[in-house]
Structure 1
């Protein structure tokens, strides 16, 4: 693991069952990077970060980040944070950034799924960003679906014995298209508000805002959700086929809105994990990207890869914490 592979975004899985095993694999990886003049970053559990810092004898060049700061709350923000990290470190003269990261996958299967998506998406989203990522998974505490996903989403596996190709790795586009769209029980109940054929954007926004005014959440959370609804409704009208419909549900623990149209759907499984036109935001293409940052979950159903009863639906969910 001493010399970084050329091209692409090296993205390795490190499965460990003790802190000693984590250190035995990750510390030489970080040390080799520092010896080569590369940046070395750790964004792991507090226990793992402390052990790795000690293994490198407190080397001041090692950058230890709080993993909540590194990964952010939502997956597109995590991608942006790591791109920014690469820009900062390479601008300072480092030829590449080595990162040992360890996600907190959350407590529910719904939360796990978002980060399982992320682990596959970053194979493309961080390609060419002068980074080499090693993702650590504690097999003692990680849920079984998370460990299974780790094998599907990392091209290589690393151990104290070295780095080997991962036969279980699945092409990201194939993997993402095969992921399930989780069921939402609220969708089987009468909506709090519904519009069958959207035509009046201003009136619709006022109507949705009036319904959300009674939700026990901060004004910022409600406004973010309302903006995501606006963006997805606008997308459906501009890029889909009529009729465009909207259904809204609220519960004590979440807000849910589904926007549907008669269009063929998205064929891009990476849609919404970055601006559609890269860094040039003047070209637009920001709707789904913004929605993924503004909501906890964005699920797309219908279209070629998620066939249903015709058309495509985007479901937005924000958890009320």
Structure 2
């Protein structure tokens, strides 16, 4: 497949680099970063420590290269990761850069449940970062990542890196369709008796007290449980305001996590990108921040539209 022509530097380019060795990574990423520096663009490394060391050495520790610890981008929750990238681009452009080139290695985590949040992220960035002067080269190590994650890369990146340059990716799918195709994970705790069950949420002060009482008895990390409590409050309020009755709530806890399921009887919501930014953009005074806030406060947020209303499932670790 022929390489594509250069796109304008004012829009996001999301490119996949599949490699199976450190040498292959260096051979692709170093010319990419050097070309950016030569063109007056910013060059950023946001990879794991081993890859970062290799790239910095190959670049002769060029002080113009910006190095960001991967944990500052990828092991925080996904809406915060998007905000981190936006701020990076804004800062570099304000300093005079015409575009920001980033070599990144997504940290998908260690379990399929962790993977899911970052699989979603790889699709969402195509929409959320589209207007930015950003060129991301996402490095996927085919010898280390699971086949499922390699497939995710191929389905979420409009471009692939080849020896001839950047080429259109024939396996790329529409990001909204990709998000809709992802399965809703099974949560075994939902097959057990809930610690709290409310069948018709109407009065919020009583609900807040009931949730607080259950969470206080779990003995988990106070800050994590406070964050979950706030997310539950936001999602319950959203369900009452925007969904249809009845609004129900179930809360479970296991040795390592808490799960809360909030459902309404409304018409549902087919908005795959919901909650990855404020609903009304920079104008926070207009509201629309509930799901965005929940995604920042909880480890996992699943939005489930099963044709009988809308369910939001929140999961947070206890420690």
TM category, shorter:
over 0.9
Q: With structure 2 as the length reference, what TM-score do the two structures score?
A: 0.96
The equivalent residue for 2:310 is 312
1:234-259 residue CA offsets vs partner (Å, 9 max, x unmatched): 00000000010100001111000000
Is the contact made by 1:225 and 1:295 (CA closer than 8 Å) also made in structure 2? yes
Task: Report how far residue 264 of structure 1 moved.
Answer: 1.5
Tell me how far apart the structure 1 counterparts of residues 11 and 181 of structure 2 sit (CA, whole Å): 23
Could you tell me which of 4, 7, 32 is aligned with 1:5?
A: 7
- 2:117 aligns to what SS in structure 1? helix
Is the contact made by 2:224 and 2:317 (CA closer than 8 Å) also made in structure 1? no
Is the contact made by 1:15 and 1:136 (CA closer than 8 Å) also made in structure 2? yes
Is the contact made by 1:13 and 1:154 (CA closer than 8 Å) also made in structure 2? yes
- 1:301 aligns to what SS in structure 2? strand
The equivalent residue for 1:28 is 31
- 1:313 aligns to what SS in structure 2? strand
The equivalent residue for 1:194 is 197
1:39-66 residue CA offsets vs partner (Å, 9 max, x unmatched): 0100011111111111111110001110
Task: Report how far residue 73 of structure 1 moved.
Answer: 1.7
Tell me how far apart the structure 1 counterparts of residues 91 and 210 of structure 2 sit (CA, whole Å): 44
Tell me how far apart the structure 1 counterparts of residues 92 and 159 of structure 2 sit (CA, whole Å): 24
The equivalent residue for 2:304 is 301
Q: With structure 1 as the length reference, what TM-score do the two structures score?
A: 0.96
The equivalent residue for 1:78 is 81
Is the contact made by 1:2 and 1:29 (CA closer than 8 Å) also made in structure 2? no
**Alpha-carbon RMSD:** 1.4
Count of matched residue pairs? 316
- 1:215 aligns to what SS in structure 2? coil
Task: Report how far residue 154 of structure 1 moved.
Answer: 0.2
Tell me how far apart the structure 1 counterparts of residues 193 and 237 of structure 2 sit (CA, whole Å): 24
Q: Is it true that 1:219 corresponds to 2:219 in the alignment? A: no
Task: Report how far residue 8 of structure 1 moved.
Answer: 3.5
The equivalent residue for 1:165 is 168
1:91-137 residue CA offsets vs partner (Å, 9 max, x unmatched): 10101100000012111101111100000000000011111111111
Segments of structure 1 that go 5 or more residues without pairing to the other structure are none
Q: Is it true that 1:283 corresponds to 2:286 in the alignment? A: yes
Q: Is it true that 1:272 corresponds to 2:275 in the alignment? A: yes
Structure 1 residue ranges, 4+ long, deviating more than 2 angstroms after superposition: 1-4
Task: Report how far residue 3 of structure 1 moved.
Answer: 8.1
Q: Is it true that 1:88 corresponds to 2:91 in the alignment? A: yes
